[in-house]
Structure 1
Amino acid sequence: MTEFNLQVEENNERLDRYLSQELPDLSRSRIQQLIEQGNVQINGKVCISKKINVKIGDRITLEIPEAQPLELQAEDIPLDILYEDDQLLILNKPAGLVVHPAPGHPDGTLVNALLAHCPNLPGIGGVQRPGIVHRLDKDTTGAIAIAKTDIAYQSLQAQLQAKTARREYLGVVYGAPKVESGTIDLPIGRHPQDRKKMAIIPVEQGGRSAITHWQLLERLGNYTLIHFQLETGRTHQIRVHSAKIGHPIVGDPVYGSGRSVGVNLPGQALHAWRLKLQHPLSAESIEVTAPPPRTFTKLLEVLQRRIALSN
């Protein structure tokens, strides 16, 4: 275990801000995580509030626990690699692949596949989610970035928080929006009755800011192909926002309408199409486009054919 002992020399500085200034090798998010996990003491008492103000003379102890041994098993699962170097990996995730282990999915996940492909991942970004900086839902396909080093992990996380990483999606929705483009700015939080779902929740009730930009690409009768760009990255964000404005993603088993479109889909017709970010070391721009899966393109072909036959 690594321990830091500090004595405050200025008043009225938020605890997490003070620690991030004094310990520049640790990211702000990592410091906040350590606080929440009870690894910070002020004057000998554990403090789990990152917002508390420290005072002159306060003695602060921060402990960084040793990385827990990773109990996950490496599994030889094929990966569709779009980009790779010694710092990061960008994959085209298929439908049905869970990103990281969770109750009900202890193995067969993207993390299990990554451990076989990158043996040095354990310890980067957390025990159960090594290298995972952002996630895609089980049945959402497309581009996902994986950090292969601590430097890459901190850099990619910072880019996501600063909203400089660009994440673009393609989705087929029910209905025909009246306008060509728009922005959905509605906070998202855990559904108050169904803990497996997310919902539009006011910020004062625990919701977190969620912003989705969208633009209509193709009208397909009573369906529409839409280009989405995420400004924030909340769980199920596009799916919740689309449903809220009356145009749920086709095939969404949780937030959708339940209507059959006549195409056998593995899940929601939502694809992480393009990912743009800065390389963690060189700062060069990297832009990767993930080809949509056959089920997605087949859905478009069926809808386009229906339009042609009706004209």
Structure 2
Amino acid sequence: MKPLEILHHDQWLVAVNKPPGMLVHRSHLSRERHVILQRLRDQLGQRLYPVHRLDRATSGVLLFALDPKTANSLTTTFGEGRADKAYLAVVRGWPEPETGHIDRPVRDDARESHREARTDYRRLALVEMPFSNRRHDTSRYALMQLEPETGRRHQLRIHMERIAHPIIGDTTHGDGEHNRLFRQHLDCHRLLLHASALTLAHPVEQDKTLALQAPLRGEFSDVIQTLGWRDALTKAFAGLSVHQHHQAGNI
């Protein structure tokens, strides 16, 4: 099995570029053998401690601690919202305005209640494709940068669906017809949601900022190329680098 792509590795933590379609770790709901945690343990030959998670279908930056003390520190950082996250997504339609803020509660199944949830978004690129759908002869899509202020389960997927721009490939909160169009015309069978960047203070070296970026791979990268969004993506990653550098200077 192909080794996981390492984005950062020091004596206290390791970050990988998680591929889509894999669980982070086993749970009482799934006893799958091949999970990220076990694969990375085998790859590095040492114990790992999860400090945050990504959905099975989501790819991108995933961070692990290498000892309990570092794990506790990172868990606190994520829990207190002191880790800045950026995601890339392809959505149905052309969201207006170009930048916006979504503030809508998301249901917490564990608590059987709703919790506050906030997401900032920015439109990066637009395209109109000759894919006929039940309403129009063509179909419109947008490349988005999403930045969650809170970390609720499925928050980004739910928020984009609630503003009528669901993420392509989402089989729970998405649009089945447009998911089918991407399978049919672009041979894309995955959720087009990717954790592209993660920025936080290093848990041990306090004067250091971790500015992690995960490049797109596989089907998502192919979609970007086909839709003519490569330049927009390059600019987005460059913009994230500038933002991360600015943050580092203020820590």
Same fold (TM over 0.5): yes
Which residue number corresponds to residue 107 of structure 1? Answer: 33
Task: Give the 3-state SS of the residue equivalent to 1:207 in structure 2.
Answer: strand
Q: 2:113 aligns with which of 196, 201, 206?
A: 206
Question: What does residue 86 of structure 1 align with?
Answer: 11
Superposed displacement of residue 105, structure 1: 3.6
Q: Where does 1:39-58 land on structure 2 (aligned, <5 Å)?
A: none
Of 78-87 and 262-271, more deviation after overlay is shown by 262-271
Q: Distance in 1 between matches of 2:6 and 2:215?
A: 12
Shift of 1:168: 0.5
Q: CA deviation at 1:226?
A: 0.5
Query: CA separation of 1:106/1:282 partners in 2, compared to 1, >3 Å: closer, same or farther?
Result: same
Q: Which has the higher Rg, Structure 1 or Structure 2?
A: 1
- 1:232-271 to 2 correspondences below 5 Å: 232-259=150-177, 260-261=181-182, 262-271=185-194
Letter in 1 for 2:117: A
Q: Would the aligned equivalents of 1:243 and 1:256 in 2 still touch at CA under 8 Å?
A: yes
Please state whether the residue corresponding to 1:108 is helix, strand or coil: coil
Aligned residues of 1:97 and 1:110 also touching (Cα < 8 A) = yes
Q: Distance in 1 between matches of 2:173 and 2:4?
A: 29
Residue 133 of structure 1, aligned match among 45, 51, 71: 51
Cα distance in 2 for residues equivalent to 1:266 and 1:148: 34
SS in 2 for 1:275: strand
- The partner residue of 2:213 within 281, 289, 293 is 289
Distance in 1 between residues matched to 2:189 and 2:55, nearest whole Å = 12
More helix by share: 2
Equivalents in 2 of 1:78, 1:119: separation in Å?
13
Q: Is the 8 A contact 1:95 1:266 kept in 2?
A: no
Instruction: Give the Å deviation of 1:278.
Output: 1.3
**Residue segments in structure 2 that go unaligned for 5+ positions in a row:** 129-139, 230-251
Aligned position for 1:189: 107
User: Is the Cα–Cα contact under 8 Å of residues 151 and 280 in structure 1 kept in the other structure?
Assistant: no
TM (norm. structure 2) is: 0.78
Aligned residues: 211
Moved over 3 A (4+): 117-120
Equivalent residue number for residue 228 of structure 2: 304
Distance in structure 2 (CA, Å) of the matches to 1:90 and 1:271: 15
Q: Compute the displacement of 1:266 (Å).
A: 3.4
Counterpart amino acid of 2:127? L
Code of the residue aligned with 2:36 in structure 1: it is L
Match of 2:114, SS state, is coil
Q: Distance in 1 between matches of 2:89 and 2:79?
A: 24
CA shift digits 1:194-218 (9 cap, x unpaired): x9xxxxxxx9x71112111111111
Deviation of the 1:120 alpha carbon: 4.5
Seq. identity, %: 32
Is 2:13 the counterpart of 1:95?
no
Hey, what's the Cα distance between the residues in 2 that align with 1:296 and 1:120? 31
How far 1:96 sits from its partner (Å)? 1.4
Change (3 A) 1:77 1:301: closer
Unmatched segments (≥5 aa) in structure 1: 1-75, 122-129, 196-202, 306-311
Q: Report the 3-state secondary structure (helix = DSSP H, G, I; strand = E; otherwise coil) of the residue aligned with 2:115.
A: coil
| Offset of residue 245 of structure 1 | 0.7
Given that 1:118 and 1:148 are in contact with CA atoms closer than 8 Å, whether structure 2 keeps it comes out as no
User: Helix, strand or coil: the match of 1:83?
Assistant: strand
Paired amino acid for 1:133: V
C-alpha distance 77-293 of structure 1, shift in aligned 2 (>3 A) = closer
Cα RMSD of the aligned pairs, angstroms, is: 2.0
Q: Tell me how far 1:113 sits from its aligned partner.
A: 1.1
The DSSP-based 3-state class of the residue aligned with 2:78 is: helix
Query: Which of 175, 200, 211 pairs up with 1:277?
Result: 200
User: Offset at 1:290?
Assistant: 0.5
Instruction: State the alpha-carbon separation in 1 of the partners of residues 189 and 56 from structure 2.
Output: 10
Q: Tell me which residue corresponds to 2:133.
A: none
The DSSP-based 3-state class of the residue aligned with 1:145 is strand
Secondary structure at the residue paired with 2:186?
Answer: coil
